[in-house]
Chain A
Amino acid sequence: MVVEEINWMAGGPQGSGVDSAANIFGRACGYGGLFVYGRREYHSNIKGLHSYFHLRVSKHETLANVNDVDLLAAFDAETVVRHITEVVKGGGIIVDTEHVNTRIFEIPPLPPEFKQEFRQFLNNKGLGDNLSELLADAEKNGVHIFKVPYMQLLEAIAKQLQIQQISKITRMINVLTIGVSFALLDYDPELVERAIKAIFADKPKVVDMNMIAFKTAYEYARNNLGNKFGRRLEKAEISEKRIFLSGNQAAALGKVLGGCRVQTYYPITPAADESEYLEAHEIFKTQDGQGSIIVIQTEDEIAAVNSVSGAAMAGARAATSTSGPGFALMVEGLSWAGNSEVPIVITYYQRGSPATGLPTRFGQSDLRFAIHAGHGEFPRIVLASGDIQECFYDAATAFNYAERFQVPVIHLIDKAMANSSQTYKVFDASPAKIERGDMLDPSRIQGGSYRRFLFTESGISPRVSLGTKGAVHWYTGDEHNEVGHISEEPSNRRAMVDKRMKRLELIDKEVPTEEKLNIFGDKDSKNVIVSWGSPKGAIIEAMELLAKEGLSLGFIQVRMLHPLPKAYMADLLKNREKIIDVENNYLGQLGGIIKEETGIQANYHVLKYTGRPITTTEMYNSLKNILTGKAAERQVLTYGS
């Protein structure tokens, strides 16, 4: 049976090539005209702990993950144990013949909490601790178990490559499982070979090794596993050009487009990939030749944010990227930039907080921190993207906001976008524009009279870069007069605070509503969801499923979280029956902010803080319960390993 959609999951120890496997799989599907949504989950660890990639492949655009796994490619026994319950009836598990008799509780990396829960699970099912019993139970429930002799295949590959030690090619297990998977799915092997060639384009030897491994496994599965697996993946004919990219990459592209020419960072998950990608592409094409972005790895986040202020004052568009712990260190610098009206951009990739939290997992618990960080009162903009494509456009727009309003802009992304990858039609750069705000034309400068903080009606003082002839000027973190010199005079103080703070009203007035929020679904429904950030995909997909059942809903995705478009939101939210706040935190932070700003309170909260994103399946179930009056006001979701 040809299927519309396949959920493929590859899992194994960190460092065993889970990412490359997902990359090959995703590309091969992309070449076949299919859409892919891929989510990467990994421990804060270099080698050995469990990681997995869940790829949802479909003929239609996919925006999020679902609970189901159709085909699980297990590099090791732990993957089977951790994910076996996710595999659907009629689905399959690819497992190493040698792993079948593993004693589950002897798998070294399994943490005590997991073991305790899993023991309970096995007891309830009346199963022993041998993996074979678990597999047999799954088989009884309609899951196909594909036992593949990994070592035997590796030996065959080693022979072809004339390699003596098998240990040198055990990393090929990832490609073995790809070969088996695509044979089971009856997918065109040429597309897979093309993916391997593209991914390792600069490493011909690696291409050769992977090709041999892939072919060996593909042939093996063809000859030995037959067509037991009933699901076939077929390619689709498409004419449009598509890309497959992560949120980290999309934000980087947005920065290049938006004119960012200096980026600083201190290594932190899940932000650093963006900076590394930029550094690898530090020279790029422009319409009139070449441009460049200088990426500097600073000694800490304090240096990162303050050097961005330096570069911005010198006239370059500049940004830094970080996550919660790094942003915490940037806070004094943020306050300085706010006080000095310096247009900086901070790309803030949220992960599981507080403290070190869940360094490689997902969370949305830093919204209030982003809005309130910094001593004192100063204007800022907090923007949040809801998907990978929005990361691209928002990363570019952030600089326009920063320079037009002369405020720091915090662009919130999160791990569920940063490390997920998705297929898109090539981004259309044509709507993008560059708006640098009120830059003083050097010819308008009259000798020696320039005032960086000139009082104007709008509160915006015309800007020049450090080094502009005839416009020597001053900045200070102290309260200052129009010239930029220190002033503690009460009247000046009041005027300066007013000048800065009324910027929030200006932003509210001048930024078009459509840039501040998106509205989906039935606008006039009596029931409406409010959310922000990465739950967007699961919400939209769940709404589509519910609409088919005649359950209507509206969805307000807030993109500008500060200043919140409160008047408009109050109008949108009035007279609704059910307001459902969906967020990945404990407090329902957006819900709280909406209440503060509009007086309107969400009456349902769907929250999740396990470090894993909300799936479409979970979202659907949860919304359906709310709409049919079967749900509690506060629902905490927990799906996912």
Chain B
Amino acid sequence: MALKMTDFKTDVFADWCPGCGDFGIMTALQMAFAELGLEQHRYVLVAGIGCSGKEAHNVRVNGVHTLHGRTLPFALGIKIANPELEVIAIGGDGDGLGIGAGHFVNMGRRNLDITYIIHNNGVYGLTKGQASPTLQLGLKTKALPKPNINEGVNPIALAIVSGYTFAARSYAYDVKHLKDIVKQAVQHRGLAFVDCLQPCPTYNDINTKEWYAGEDRKDPKTGKPQPRLYKLEETGFDPIVHEAEQDFAKKMAGIEKAREWGDRIPIGVFYKNQLTPTFEDRITQRIPFYRSAPPCKQKISDETGKPIADLSEFFEELKTS
């Protein structure tokens, strides 16, 4: 019987502030997992620390709620040991681009076949509103004593230059779009990054739901708000690297699009390349039986509990008599 979205819900109370974007992201994950059609035990949701980290407990798939900034290393270990699992890492913008930035960049070098979703709301919510690495220079969100003294990092551009082979952006309040992007990310063969824009109703009083909806810039003729977000897929933008030679130009085009901000903010897929070998492919080149006998499936002892590794070849190399 096909699984429904409700099969991916838990009875854990979601304790985010009313109006938090996390509700939308949680729902999108539940919908995406149901539509992707795998049973619950096939997914692992690896979460960081912060409001978003708790999502791991609200989705009925295996959940690993890790340490601040360390989602990707945990995800790496899980996926390497069992490449059959669908591993989805989630975390906040401070988690992934501040304390975890080293892992963010280095994960790109591997092109491991997992998905990473950053909840991008410009603030550290759970510690009461400090500036996150994506907050623009000079902005003063509600809880900041002074305007932000740092530049904001561009997550999509950083992902592309780091080697992520799928880079997309969506919006927590557009659950259907986000669900579709998550599905594409999970189905992407390689390392997929999703920058999920998300208002923080409590601490980010600049990039609010109303701001994204463009309520501050009504069309003078119609009087209607002009939403800031627009969909790349509706503009004919082609993010896909069809041939290896296109790669550099496609990367540059994706980065160029990622620079748009302010009154026009693109969402959708910025860059997608399935021609790069995944980390699992690279391991398989060295260990041909990796996929059929990954670390978690290898037999290590016989029925009597004796180890089955045969060290005779090692001893032969080391022998001195």
Contacts and interface: CB of A to CB of B under 8 A. Distances in A.
Contact of A242 (B76, B80, B312, B319): B319
B295, B299, B309 pick with most chain A CB within 10 angstroms: B309
Interface string B279-321: 0000100110110011111111110011111111111001111
Contact of B77 (A31, A262, A432, A467): A262
A333 B72 CA distance: 13
Contacts of B232: none
Given A244-B320, A467-B84, A472-B40, A311 B295 contact: yes
Nearest to B103: A303
Interface stretch (B20-28, B53-61, B240-248, B256-264): B53-61
A427 B78 contact: no
B102 to A, nearest CB: 5
B15 to A, nearest CB: 9
A292 B293 contact: yes
A477 B62 contact: no
A291 B298 contact: yes
A564 interface: no
A288 B79 CA distance: 25
Interface in B70-95: 70, 72-82, 84-85
B77 A318 contact: yes
B310 A287 contact: yes
Given A243-B315, A474-B56, A309 B41 contact: no
B67 interface: yes
Contacts of B308: 286-288, 291
B268 interface: no
B287 A294 contact: yes
A255 to B, nearest CB: 9
A310 interface: yes
Interface string B38-63: 01111010100100001011001111
B44 A287 contact: no
B66 interface: yes
A284 B315 CA distance: 12
A466 interface: yes
A223 to B, nearest CB: 30
Interface in A296-336: 296, 298-300, 302-318, 332-333, 336
A15 interface: no
A466 B318 contact: no
A90 to B, nearest CB: 28
Interface stretch (A356-364, A478-486, A526-534): A478-486
A148 to B, nearest CB: 27
A253 interface: yes
A467 B65 contact: no
Contacts of A471: 41
A296 B280 CA distance: 12
A288 B313 CA distance: 15
A26 B63 CA distance: 52
Given A249-B318, A433-B301, A477 B65 contact: yes
B12 interface: yes
A429 B54 CA distance: 46
Contacts of B296: 261, 311, 314-316, 465, 467
B100 to A, nearest CB: 9
B276 interface: no
A467 B318 contact: no
B64 interface: yes
A283 B287 contact: yes
B89 to A, nearest CB: 10
A465 B65 CA distance: 16
A243 B319 contact: yes
B49 to A, nearest CB: 8
A226 B256 CA distance: 79
Contact of A302 (B70, B78, B319): B70
A472 B78 CA distance: 15
A491 B66 CA distance: 24
Contacts of A427: 311, 315
A216 to B, nearest CB: 25
Contacts of A426: 315, 319
A469 interface: yes
Given A429-B311, A467-B42, A470-B41, A316 B318 contact: no
A307 B306 contact: no
B150 interface: no
Given A31-B321, A256-B309, A433-B301, A484 B63 contact: yes
Contacts of B311: 253, 256-257, 284, 427, 429
B289 to A, nearest CB: 7
Interface in A450-507: 465-478, 484-486
Interface residues of B, number: 68
Contacts of A472: 40-41, 60-62
Contact of A243 (B56, B76, B286, B320): B320
Contact of B306 (A241, A432, A478): A432
B310 A396 contact: no
A285 B67 CA distance: 37
A521 interface: no
Contacts of A466: 44, 62, 64, 78, 82, 85
Given A311-B295, A434-B300, A465-B296, A30 B320 contact: yes
Given A284-B313, A465-B296, A466-B82, A434 B67 contact: no
A474 B80 contact: no
Contact of A240 (B12, B294, B306, B321): B321
A29 B67 CA distance: 52
A296 B80 contact: yes
Contacts of A27: 320
A299 B76 CA distance: 12
Contacts of B41: 467-472
A317 B309 CA distance: 13
B70 A314 contact: no
Contact of A467 (B85, B102, B298, B302): B85
Contact of B73 (A288, A310, A318): A310
Contacts of B84: 467
A313 B45 CA distance: 13
Contacts of B62: 466-467, 472-474
Contact of A306 (B57, B60, B70, B318): B70
Given A314-B77, A318-B77, A281 B106 contact: no
Nearest to A277: B314
Contacts of B12: 485
A12 interface: no
A579 to B, nearest CB: 38
Nearest to B320: A30
Contacts of A469: 39, 41
A426 B315 CA distance: 7
A243 B56 CA distance: 50
Nearest to B110: A296
A159 B62 CA distance: 70
A259 interface: yes
Nearest to A471: B41
Given A30-B320, A486-B57, A300 B81 contact: no
A3 B311 CA distance: 35
In the A-B complex, list the 5 residue pairs whose CB atoms are closest, starting with the nearest.
A310-B77, A30-B320, A259-B300, A307-B77, A261-B295
Given A475-B64, A484-B63, 4 more contacts: A264-B77, A283-B287, A290-B289, A292-B293
16 contacts: A262-B80, A262-B81, A284-B309, A284-B310, A286-B309, A306-B66, A307-B73, A307-B77, A314-B295, A316-B295, A336-B67, A434-B300, A434-B301, A466-B62, A466-B85, A467-B42
Interface of B: 10, 12, 39-42, 44, 46, 49, 54, 56-57, 60-67, 70, 72-82, 84-85, 102-103, 105-106, 283, 286-287, 289-290, 293-302, 305-315, 318-321
Interface of A: 26-27, 29-31, 33, 36, 238, 240-245, 249, 253, 256-259, 261-262, 264, 281-288, 290-294, 296, 298-300, 302-318, 332-333, 336, 396, 423, 426-427, 429-430, 432-435, 465-478, 484-486
